[in-house]
Structure 1
Amino acid sequence: MTADIVDSHCHLDFPDFEGQLDAVIARAAEAGVTRMVTICTRLRNEPAVRAIAEAHDPVFYAAGTHPMSAAEEPLATVEQLVALAAHPKFVGIGETGLDYHYTAESKAVQKQSLRIHIAAARETGLPLIIHARDADDDMAQILTEEHRAGPYPCVMHCFSSSATLGRAALDLGFYLSMSGIAAFPRSTELREIFAAAPVDRILVETDSPYLAPPPHRGKRNEPAFTAHTARVGAEVFGLSYEDFAARTSANFDRLFAKAAAWRGAQGTA
């Protein structure tokens, strides 16, 4: 039997998967990836992403405005995000965050959008899903300021930032998510950051179709490949694959409590 594991972040609505979702989800199940969260990055695409979650039992979804799109899309409202959260399979707010690598010119609107998403996470109790790239100082400052104003749950998705931002997030009670980047041979420093974190604050993800881990690096990523990253994660924490899969799945259930409750209500827990 393959240990069950969760892909906490993927993008099944992207064109890379068009017409292939049944096969992709079947391969995920064969690899032990029994649940996945597909992320909507532009709110105008939310109906299509919702439809994927409704059509496939293992799939949950989240929605928000990606920071790289913040200047191109209408600014979300707290009310809009809270309304989306009424759907039983809507389990997270985002992804949102700051990206100064490609879109530094839109810093101001990214910060505004981020704070709106934080307010929605605070109001709904659903986890905030953060994208951070080349914006560590501003990210730590905003997350900390907002947390002082009122706590909210959060995961640093595809975490590949500095140890300083990682520690700031952990100190706020947040989670770090391990993507295929952590499995790349040259990611020694990143693996050390993860190794210094409590294992009960770690999730795993693919961010598919991007960032496929070895032995699929350079190819299209998909949820089944979560297992490859998780095997590296198990080594990082000195655990068996089965133990690491169980711990990260329990972490997912703790953070994404709505997904865990929905699963239990279906009698599949």
Structure 2
Amino acid sequence: MMNNKEEIGMNWAQDPKVKSLAKALRILECFSVDTPELGVTELAEMNHITKSNAHNILTTFQQGGYVVKQPNGKYALGLQLLEFSYIINQHLGYPRAVYDLLTDLANKTGEIVYFGLPHGTDVLYLYVAHPIARMQELPYRDMLGEHAPLYCTGIGKAILSAMPEEEWEDHITPVRTPFTDATVTDHDQIIEELWRTRRRGYAIDNCGREVNVRCVGAPVFSGTGRLVAGISTSGPASAMTDEKLLHCSKLVVDTARRMRERIYH
């Protein structure tokens, strides 16, 4: 089954102006959190090009610092790309606008809080905040750059529900993976859930993305009314009872409202 990274790599430039550049960029798009290191043969097969072609592209990227060759002979993304991510992050202006609110939300809920951006059919995670009182207890995950499908995550469904309904089809993958026994993959059921989410103002993930993890999320708008992101808080199903989910939903929605007052564009 093709993952979203591969779908983007094959579909984002069906008829590019500069085909050689598109081919090179698709090499970079093959790297992910799950596959941080890839060999020449793997990259050639993923992109349907020759090994020599893949090697030439990788060598050029290596010279510019965009990839590095590991001792095992495989390649990984280089620090030059990390510099670009920092520039983008600062340009968006979200660190100053939202991070203290994320930390405040984490402390109030006692659970991990996420902030992510819509990115095609995925949510692209930008920040994670942990409650100070549980820093030694909860697993720390730096989510920068991680992604997950919109259709099965609390933060993703919150983002989807805030989009015009005529755009939903463009942001729901045609092939949907059942990550757990509770993942809803049926198209009509997903649409029904999006309508429920829109009516109540927040989304719920009942262990649809990770086993025994429940989540509640809300969309984040700018001061001009533009959908810009989503936030969520999640925890173990044993702790995230229906009562706590309802309590957290009020906190998440209120935090999203406070963010709107700070995000101007």
Length-normalised TM-score, structure 2: 0.29
Larger Rg: 2
Greater RCO (CA < 8 Å, at least 6 residues apart): 1
